[in-house]
Amino acid sequence: MERAKKSSAEPIVNAMSVDVEDYFHVSVFDGIVPRTEWDAMESRVCTNTERLLDIFDEYSVRSTFFVLGWVGEKYPALVTKIAARGHEVASHGYAHRLVYDQTPAAFRDDVRRAKALLEEASGRPVVGYRAPSYSITPRSLWALDVLIEEGYQYDSSIFPIRHDRYGIPVSDRQPYRIDRNGGSLIEVPGSTTRLGPMNLPVAGGGYFRILPYKWTHWGIRRVNEQEGRPAVFYLHPWEIDPDQPRLHAGRLGRFRHYRNLDSTEQWLRQLLSDFRFQPMQALVNDARLAFAQDSRFALSLPYSW
Ligand SMILES: [Zn+2]
């Protein structure tokens, strides 16, 4: 109770993040829309991202945009605009390939190419990375070494949950520092809440769209008030676009992608008025300061690779 009172007096500022990709880039449509056909698809990413920029302006929110390199290459003016309107540009890799499906050399090319393209278009250093479908798992931890070597300073790809395609359930739920021979990296996981023995995602993506808004509201409040920590929220530009062309994935894929698209903008507006948000970079800076002052916060992953 003491803690809850303190938090309501000084509202915690959470992190807002957007994975900038088109509706046909999503992993669930891999194999349905081959990469060779991406260029020929109707693109809606610029319109949807600009709509998000306008909504964020209305609520005076600054966000991090993890932009897919392919999008940044095709629409550099979009990246320039994101940066010019005061947001952080970070990297979602180049070609939206799952990390654990790539060789370390191919992954290095992918993240290097995306970083260079996005830095050129934004005119700023790009230091954050988020993997397609959170695909840094026990099978692809080598990717963290590559990210450090390629000049990335933080990563937001390790989800501490059980999921059919991603997640490391035993990994820490709060930001932590990963020290390797080549340097160190701050890992900033997407937010979860602890319920019994389980970590349940509470801040974004399908969980925001498919479950009622009150789930996200309850979860973020719980992270803020019980743990006294900021939450990390994420969404995609296609999630506020109910008119996007329908693609034919399997039943589960269709449910995950199309459910409640027509309500998401309204829920996002509710979220932006209920909580405060800032870019990921601000959380990373706070985490770095905390780690410098108290080494207990500098956790290692509970396994080696
Ligand atoms: Zn993605």
Digit-coded pLDDT (tens) for 153-201: 999 999 887 777 777 777 888 888 888 888 889 999 988 888 888 888 8
CA distances from 230 to 182, 221, 277 (A): 29, 9, 9
Task: Please tell me the distance between residue 272's alpha carbon and the centre of ligand 1 in angstroms.
Answer: 22
**124 neighbors 85 (Cβ within 8 angstroms):** no
Residue 297: pLDDT band by 50, 70, 90 thresholds? low
Task: Please tell me the distance between residue 133's alpha carbon and the centre of ligand 1 in angstroms.
Answer: 6
Residue 292: pLDDT band by 50, 70, 90 thresholds? confident
Give the chain as a DSSP string: -HHHHHHHHSPPEEEEEEEE--GGGSGGGTTTS-GGGGGGSPP-HHHHHHHHHHHHHHTT---EEEE-HHHHHH-HHHHHHHHHTTPEEEE--SS---GGGS-HHHHHHHHHHHHHHHHHHHSS---EE--GGG--SGGGTHHHHHHHHTT--EE-----S--SS---TTS-SS-EEEEETTEEEEE-PPPEEEETTEEEE-SBHHHHHHS-HHHHHHHHHHHHHHS----EEEE-GGGG-TTSPP----HHHHHHHHTTHHHHHHHHHHHHHHSEEE-HHHHHHHHHHHHHH-GGG-PPPSS--
Residue 304 pLDDT exceeds 70 = no
Task: Please tell me the distance between residue 256's alpha carbon and the centre of ligand 1 in angstroms.
Answer: 14
87-101, 125-139, 285-299: least confident range: 285-299
List phi, psi (to 5°) of 251.
Answer: -60, -45
Task: Please tell me the distance between residue 140's alpha carbon and the centre of ligand 1 in angstroms.
Answer: 17
* pLDDT tens-digit series, residues 106-120: 999 999 999 999 999
What six digits make up the tokens of 48?
């949807």
Task: Please tell me the distance between residue 92's alpha carbon and the centre of ligand 1 in angstroms.
Answer: 7
Q: Is 200 buried (19+), middle (13-18) or exposed (0-12) by CB count in 10 A?
A: middle
Task: Please tell me the distance between residue 193's alpha carbon and the centre of ligand 1 in angstroms.
Answer: 23
* pLDDT tens-digit series, residues 125-144: 999 999 999 999 888 889 99
Task: Please tell me the distance between residue 199's alpha carbon and the centre of ligand 1 in angstroms.
Answer: 22
Task: Please tell me the distance between residue 134's alpha carbon and the centre of ligand 1 in angstroms.
Answer: 8
Residue 48: pLDDT band by 50, 70, 90 thresholds? very high
Task: Please tell me the distance between residue 289's alpha carbon and the centre of ligand 1 in angstroms.
Answer: 30
**62 neighbors 86 (Cβ within 8 angstroms):** yes
Reported residue count of the chain is 305
Task: Please tell me the distance between residue 227's alpha carbon and the centre of ligand 1 in angstroms.
Answer: 28
What six digits make up the tokens of 237?
């530009």
Q: Average pLDDT for residues 201-206, to the nearest whole number?
A: 83
Task: Please tell me the distance between residue 94's alpha carbon and the centre of ligand 1 in angstroms.
Answer: 10
Work out the percent of the chain whose per-residue pLDDT is above 90: 61
Task: Please tell me the distance between residue 130's alpha carbon and the centre of ligand 1 in angstroms.
Answer: 8
Better-scored residue on pLDDT, 303 or 257:
257
Q: In the prediction, which pLDDT does 305 show?
A: 45
Task: Please tell me the distance between residue 129's alpha carbon and the centre of ligand 1 in angstroms.
Answer: 11
Q: How remote is the C-alpha of 210 from its chain's centroid?
A: 18
Highest mean pLDDT pick, 92-96, 162-166, 191-195, 202-206: 92-96
The residue assigned the tokens 């798992």 is 137
Residue 207: closest CA among 196, 197, 225, 193: 193
Task: Please tell me the distance between residue 293's alpha carbon and the centre of ligand 1 in angstroms.
Answer: 34
Highest mean pLDDT pick, 63-67, 227-231, 238-242: 63-67
Q: Is 267 buried (19+), middle (13-18) or exposed (0-12) by CB count in 10 A?
A: buried
Q: How far apart are the C-alpha atoms of 69 and 113, rounded to whole Å? A: 7
